[in-house]
Amino acid sequence: MSIVRSNAKFIEVQNAEMVFETRKGSFHALTKVNLNVEQGEFITLIGHSGCGKSTLLNLLAGLTTATEGALICAGREIAGPSPERAVVFQNHSLLPWLSCFENVYLAVERVFAAKETAAQMRERTAAALALVGLTAAAQKRPNEISGGMKQRVGIARALSMEPKVLLMDEPFGALDALTRAHLQDELLRIVAKTGSTVVMVTHDVDEAVLLSDRIVMMTNGPAATIGDIVHVRLERPRERVALAHDALYIDYRTRVLEFLYHRQARPHKEAA
Amino acid sequence: MSAVLESMSSSPTVIPLEKAVPEKRARSERLASQGVSLANGKPRLRAFALAVLPPVLGVGLLILLWQILSANNSSFPSPWVTWQEAVRMFSDPFYSKGPNDQGIGWNILASLKRVGLGFGLAAVVGIPLGFMIGRFKFLAGMFNPIISLLKPVSPLAWLPIGLLVFKAADPAAIWSIFICSIWPMIINTAVGVQRVPQDYMNVARVLNLSEWKIFTKILLPSVLPYMLTGVRLAIGTAWLVIVAAEMLTGGVGIGFWVWDEWNNLNVPHIIIAIVVIGVVGLILEQALVALAKSFTYEEAGN
């Protein structure tokens, strides 16, 4: 890889434990999670549903706090949510009473209001929407655009803040296969351009191999942890049709599938 | 209350029909202008007839029953007599011959003024209180037992307290309106705040929005539909209560007017008053339904 990684331990997760207190008693979601993410690296978290991959992402986002262990980002402990770690939610979470432009502007304003003029911030907002190809839909409300477009606004909102880390929780999970492929390609293009550090939760093996530098595979919950990590050493830019016949690609894909379906077969009896 | 609920549930079924008719007409006219001969005009005519006929028939039946009743009962005025009286009355609604003999217009305005004042004060107190109860669990715990206890009490039971405190009839009536309007506003606003989707609050947290931005950009817009439902329920109840309150307090007002006409044994006026009260209540409610519609946002689902 030609990209020079300036910081090998940009994100550090050390012995993270997560226990949820519920009405039925405590639920041990994550145990002994250790992970280092390099600056500019694209990481995907994959595993069966209920394995705690979203829980780990929420810890990185600061939306929840780890019961034990330490989470560090850019040399500072993660104490709460911050615009430095932008989140793209699975259900896009756009505010329905604001236009696409206003949704993005809300984020831009929060981060840059102290340093920039309103005109500069409007420019930033327009640039973020242009990056995801939504200039024409800027003045539309979220209910007037398609699911794929909404998700792109969500990505634009996250990128507009120039975050240190982009956290994505199954961002394309609710989309149809063609839209998903299109957005994956766009994400690859955008990340290549911005050099963002990305942690993304997915349940799609092809998506994981296509996008990632490393695939973090999680064991089944309760008390889930990192089972194995696959380094994806495929040249970038990656092209999905060419990769379909690539022996290395198929090998990575098989390794992930083996982990998911042989070593960590989906639990049947557990209700959780 | 049941009348309020009924009109709530029936109004949405009427509106789409009215909207659909002009749109269809435009399309058929366009087709006709292109030289397309339309298959037939019947379905459109039928839809129109089906929308108009049942209400007309219902009102007609009511008037017929009334006519039969009045024919067999000399103390009950016939529809025609009442109509003539109403025409005479509405030809001069704003006369004033002393405090006890004023036109129907003044009476309605006096009642509306009381409702407006009591209702407005209830909104000023109830909506912020609802926001706080919805936002802070501690406050909810504090206020919930009080609200549960006092909500079922008839607002008229508060009238003596109002008379005691304010030592005048008019503020006491406004006080009753205040009491009956405040509960739906507090409760609906609080429920609205509690139902703000967690997703939106997560956005607020990730963006690290200030409390003011959270309030203006997230809480207020998402609570507004709930709040307006509370306001609409409140105005319905307030209009019900004012008639009864005025019967007890006297002065100028539609409620007292009904009572006065009863003492004069002027039955046509009582019937006219009933219809007028109904029409004003309907207008108030529909105005708020229209307002609520313009502030309701479709959920931005996939």
Domain boundaries, chain A: 1-79+202-229+242-272
DSSP 8-state secondary structure symbol assigned to residue A260: I
Give pLDDT tens digits for B74-109: 778 888 888 888 888 888 777 777 766 777 888 889
Q: What is the mean pLDDT of chain A?
A: 87
Q: Which long-range contacts (CB under 8 A, 24 or more apart) does B69-78 make?
A: B75/B267, B76/B267, B77/B267, B77/B268, B77/B271
Give pLDDT tens digits for B23-33: 455 666 666 66
Residues B233 and B6: their CA atoms lie apart, in Å, by 12
Predicted confidence (pLDDT) at residue B13 exceeds the cutoff of 80: no
CA atoms within 13 A on the CB side of A160: 33
CB B242 within 8 A of CB B255: yes
pLDDT at B29: 65
pLDDT at B17: 40
- Mean pLDDT of all residues in B265-283: 90
SS3 A250: helix
Predicted confidence (pLDDT) at residue B1 exceeds the cutoff of 60: no
pLDDT at B47: 85
Predicted confidence (pLDDT) at residue A188 exceeds the cutoff of 70: yes
Please report where in the chains the tokens 């981060």 appear, as a residue: A111
Neighbouring-strand partners of residue A73: A11, A76
Residues B96 and B84: their CA atoms lie apart, in Å, by 21
Instruction: Give backbone dihedrals phi and psi of A159, rounded to 5 degrees, phi first.
Output: -70, -30
Q: How confident is the model at residue B40 (pLDDT cuts 50, 70, 90)?
A: low
pLDDT at B4: 40
**From the CA of A196, how many Å to the nearest CA of chain B?**
17
Whether residues B200 and A147 touch (CB distance < 8 A) is answered with no
pLDDT at A202: 92
Please report where in the chains the tokens 């009642």 appear, as a residue: B111
In chain B, domain spans: 2-76, 104-294
Whether residues B207 and A174 touch (CB distance < 8 A) is answered with no
Whether residues B300 and A63 touch (CB distance < 8 A) is answered with no
- Mean pLDDT of all residues in B195-205: 88
SS3 A25: strand
List CB contacts of B157: < 8 A, sequence separation 6 or more: none
Give pLDDT tens digits for A44-78: 999 888 888 889 999 999 988 999 989 999 888 99
Q: State which amino acid sits at residue A28.
A: H
The verdict on A65 touching B (C-beta cutoff 8 Å) is no
Which homologous superfamily does the CATH classification assign to the domain defined by A1-79+202-229+242-272? P-loop containing nucleotide triphosphate hydrolases (3.40.50.300)
Whether residues A150 and B199 touch (CB distance < 8 A) is answered with no
pLDDT at B257: 87
Q: Which residues of A42-78 are buried (b: 16+ CB within 10 A; e: fewer)?
A: bbbbbbbebbbbbbbbbbbbbbbebbebebebbeeeb
**From the CA of B217, how many Å to the nearest CA of chain A?**
8
Class level of CATH domain B104-294: mainly alpha
Q: State which amino acid sits at residue A123.
A: E
Beta strands in chain A (DSSP E): 11-22, 25-37, 42-46, 68-73, 76-77, 85-88, 165-169, 197-202, 214-218, 226-231
Nearest to B208 among A82, A94, A96 (CB): A82
Predicted confidence (pLDDT) at residue A266 exceeds the cutoff of 70: no
Among A98-112, A176-190, B142-156, whose mean pLDDT is lowest?
A: A176-190
Please report where in the chains the tokens 């803040």 appear, as a residue: A161
Neighbouring-strand partners of residue A224: A30
Give pLDDT tens digits for A86-124: 999 888 889 988 999 999 999 999 888 888 899 999 999
Query: Would you say the pTM of this structure is higher than 0.80?
Result: no
pLDDT at A99: 92
Positive or negative torsion for Cα A95, A97, A101, A105:
negative
- Mean pLDDT of all residues in B2-22: 41
pLDDT at A176: 84
Predicted confidence (pLDDT) at residue B249 exceeds the cutoff of 90: no
Q: Are strands A165-169 and A197-202 parallel, antiparallel or unpaired?
A: parallel
**From the CA of A97, how many Å to the nearest CA of chain B?**
6
The verdict on A61 touching B (C-beta cutoff 8 Å) is yes
Whether residues B217 and A95 touch (CB distance < 8 A) is answered with yes
Structure tokens at B191: 């429920």
Give the Cβ contact number of residue B197 at 10 Å.
Answer: 14
SS3 A198: strand
The verdict on A164 touching B (C-beta cutoff 8 Å) is no
